[in-house]
Structure 1
Amino acid sequence: MKRYILVIIAILITLFFVSSMSYQQQTIVPSLQQVLADKPFEELLSKIEVTYWGQTISVETRGYYHFVEFLIRKATHFVGFGLIGIIIYLLYRKLKLKHAALFAIISTFIIAAIDEFHQTFVPGRTGIFNDVLLDTAGAFTLIILFKVIQLVTKKWMKEISICRS
């Protein structure tokens, strides 16, 4: 149980420092320009438009590298908070909390909301409620996926032990 708490604290500290950085300190566009100099999948990505915070985000409106960065940043939100949700779920389950998955999703929502609120105080950053929803969707999805994998694995292991008997 201690290890889950320590991991959660480490993640929250890391999240705080990352959220304290301005966009200019965080941008990966220069790296993308080097790594993706040939603009792979540009034609495919040019067909994608995302409406986000009332704005259309696309290769056409933002440019190739900024659009790829946008997709990476949002995927990082989704997966990162999904993993936070799983760790919180494991902690709550260890504590034998009834409805651990639900409370883990709610806890992740609260952490995401605090993170976005914190960003409103950082120059060059904005706290966006859509990111809180994206983070929570990541937690919901990854926790459910984790639980499904656990159930399938448990059933599969049970079948293997029956076959060996």
Structure 2
Amino acid sequence: MKKETKGNLFIGLAFAVMLVLYYSSSQSYEDQSMTGLLDRWLANEPLKEFLSPIQFTYAGSEVSIHAQGYSAFVEFFIRKAAHFGSYFLLASFWLLGLKEKMTSLPLTAVLSWLLAVGYASFDEFHQSLTPDRTPLPQDIVLDSVGAATGLAICLIFIYATKKKRKKRKRK
């Protein structure tokens, strides 16, 4: 596959992630709630003894099994993993899509991170317009860390691949 076509594919994937995130932000919390499903799947509350001591504050609210119940506690981690993973992918797709279109890989990484974090900020604003949704600056921070992690892993692979190619050329 030509580099240009491959880059366009990744940019298309970045836009696809953005569309999924936009759709997700358009739904109320109740529409997205998985607690009913988790209540059925986790009826025996596996790992409850292990998870019960975990307690912390996120966006001013206590996160614990005691405060939320078992299913809501598990759902919290699923939701936050979705935040992290979505922006991990978004930033990675931007980097992979733009790296052949720009001359500086570090600048491409910074732009990719800014695009992801900018979209995270827009997404939280969009949530403020959705009934029963609360925009959280903490989610933007989590999204930013997900984006930075995705970029770091992509850059490691890109530089490692370049190194291998240089070694092969010398032989």
The reply to whether TM is greater than 0.5 is yes
Residue of structure 2 in register with 1:122 after alignment: 130
Residue of structure 2 in register with 1:37 after alignment: 43
Distance in structure 2 (CA, Å) of the matches to 1:59 and 1:37: 14
Cα offset, 1:156, TM superposition: 5.5
Identical residues among aligned pairs (%): 33
TM-score (norm 1): 0.89
Instruction: Choose which of 2, 7, 10 in structure 1 pairs with 2:8.
Output: 2
1:21 aligns with 2:27: yes
- The CA deviation string for residues 62-87 of structure 1, in whole angstroms up to 9 with x for no partner, is 11110000011001100111110100
Alignment of 1:98-113 (within 5 A): 98=104, 99-113=107-121
Assess, with a 3 A threshold, how the Cα gap between structure 1 residues 157 and 36 changes in structure 2: closer, same or farther. Answer: farther
- Partner of 1:94, secondary structure, is coil
TM-score (norm 2): 0.86
Distance in structure 1 (CA, Å) of the matches to 2:85 and 2:16: 17
Distance in structure 2 (CA, Å) of the matches to 1:34 and 1:23: 19
- Partner of 1:96, secondary structure, is coil
Gapped runs of 5+ residues in structure 1?
A: none
- Partner of 1:39, secondary structure, is coil
Distance in structure 1 (CA, Å) of the matches to 2:103 and 2:26: 33
- The CA deviation string for residues 87-141 of structure 1, in whole angstroms up to 9 with x for no partner, is 0111221212531111111111100000000000111001111111110110001
Residue of structure 2 in register with 1:140 after alignment: 148
Cα offset, 1:44, TM superposition: 1.5
Distance in structure 1 (CA, Å) of the matches to 2:145 and 2:121: 13
| Paired residue total | 163
Distance in structure 1 (CA, Å) of the matches to 2:148 and 2:39: 33
- Alignment check: 8 A CA contact 2:17 2:86 kept: no
Instruction: Choose which of 48, 65, 68 in structure 2 pairs with 1:62.
Output: 68
Residue identity in the other structure for 1:110: G
* Runs of 4+ displaced beyond 3 Å: 149-159
